[in-house]
Structure 1
Amino acid sequence: MAAVGSKLPEGRYGRSRTADEAADRKLKLVGAVLGVLFLAVVGWFGYDYINGTKLSAEVITFDVVSDDTVKVHLEVRKDSDARGYCTLRSQSEDGAEVGRADFRFDQRKDRVDKLVTLRTRARGTNAELLGCHSD
């Protein structure tokens, strides 16, 4: 009887077990690095969302004074050292924008109440706060 070899011929039955283990190790390493990068990006966006807003405002009242003027009482809340601007707009009865302006807030206060005048090119029916941005 012929002796049966205990070892299979090299390369005949696919890759060896050590090559599979090396590939698994690489995939685990790449997955771990991508996971850490993903968590870092999510953390950065979360931090910026929570701490990045230094200026916010609210339209308290508005009054359409004439065909080309809307008076707006704006209350701005911000960090005392924050500087920035808020954008307001007014629309006509049919929804067309008839006025838009930026108003600066550089006062060193936490809360600023300001009466601003928004000029329009036709009669405005509202005053809408589009947003505030810090410098």
Structure 2
Amino acid sequence: MSAVREGLPEGRYGRSADERADRKLKVVGSVLGVVLLGVVGWIGWDYVAGQSVSAEVIKFQVVSDAEVKVHLEVRKESSVTGVCTLSSQDKEHNEVGRADYTFAQPESRVDEMVSLKTTGRATMIELVGCQPATGSH
């Protein structure tokens, strides 16, 4: 086929210009893909590294109309005092209890059962969030 193309205007019957354009698009697409992955990775790392205190509700038990026992697993730096906020709601999704709990243990992982006092029968527990205590770290 190269013999057929000889002497013909470039790009009119051949694909050399198209091939160059495709190559440029592939390079630009690859570079943009790598940059996007880098940005997503950086945002993810910043989010994870920026949270020095986190927790998870393992389970909860409604003890009465006025109390809920909550099993929390708290992860933090061992030198940090963490504060976690719990909220409880009733079946109509009205808040019936809210409290802050402080975790000053020198461990990086703390499993603890806490008691949340409520003004009505709770049906749901929400971990509102955790953060280092002011003056901690």
Q: Same fold (TM over 0.5)?
A: yes
Partner of 2:80: 82
Residue 108 of structure 1 is aligned with which of 106, 109, 115? 106
8 Å CA contact 1:68, 1:119 repeated in 2: yes
Give deviations 1:36-74, integer Å, cap 9, x for gaps.
xxxxxx9xx958634321110000000000000000000
Pairwise mapping of residues 1-135 of structure 1 onto structure 2 (< 5 A)? Answer: 49-135=47-133
Q: What is the RMSD computed on CA atoms of the aligned residues?
A: 1.7
Q: Please, what TM-score do these two structures have when normalized by structure 1?
A: 0.63
Q: Show CA shifts across 1:9-32 (max 9, x none).
A: xxxxxxxxxxxxxxxxxxxxxxxx
**How far apart in 2 are the matches of 1:105 and 1:54?**
13
- How far the C-alpha of 1:126 sits from its partner, in A, is 1.5
Secondary structure (helix, strand or coil) at the match of 1:51 reads helix
Alignment gaps of 5+ in structure 2: 1-38
Larger radius of gyration: 1
Other structure's SS at 2:119 match: coil
Identity of aligned residues (%): 54
Size of the aligned set, in residue pairs, is 92
Q: Quote the Cα distance in structure 2 between the aligned partners of 1:88 and 1:99.
A: 8
- 1:55 touches 1:79 (CA, 8 Å); kept in 2? yes
**C-alpha distance in 2 between matches for 1:50 and 1:68:** 36
